[in-house]
A = this chain, B = another copy of it.
Amino acid sequence: MKYIEKLRKSGLRPTKQRLQICEVLFDTEKTFHFTINDLVNKIQKQLNNKISLATVYNTVHAFEKKGYLKQIPINSNQTYFDTNISDHHHFYDLKEEKLIDLENSDVGPINILKKIEGKKIKSIEVLVKLED
């Protein structure tokens, strides 16, 4: 398994559950956006296998902390995550309630002119809301 080493390097034991979640998250053609609930359903369907909700939460948070997932800043009743960890932005289709990737190259360079004393910029995220 290609994920065993990846997990070990991060100080995470390569358990059956984590490896399965890796498969679902990272063995895909394209990256995608998901909620915890989406992921639980995907695991059920794709692996015919139940992983407890607590473990899914734990694993997603562990992966996020290690930088294998990104949380998307959006107001929703659920938290959205992204398997695309590249520096990029999002459209949010208000009607469909769906996120669409917006590559950095699709947004002109962003230059923040204001500086805050003693603080440095960690990330810049653009959210473009779409309506019909």
Contacts and interface: CB of A to CB of B under 8 A. Distances in A.
B110 A108 contact: yes
13 contacts: A71-B75, A72-B75, A93-B116, A93-B119, A106-B113, A106-B114, A108-B108, A108-B109, A108-B111, A110-B126, A120-B131, A123-B128, A123-B129
Nearest to A109: B108
Interface residues of A, number: 38
Given A93-B116, A126-B126, 17 more contacts: A73-B73, A75-B79, A91-B119, A100-B116, A106-B114, A107-B110, A107-B112, A110-B126, A116-B130, A119-B130, A120-B130, A120-B131, A120-B132, A121-B128, A121-B130, A123-B128, A125-B128
Contact of A122 (B102, B106, B124, B130): B130
Interface string A84-119: 000000010110000010110111111111101011
Contacts of A119: 91, 93, 130-132
Nearest to A71: B75
* 10 nearest A-B residue pairs (beta carbon): A106-B114, A108-B111, A119-B130, A122-B131, A122-B129, A123-B129, A125-B127, A106-B113, A73-B75, A124-B128
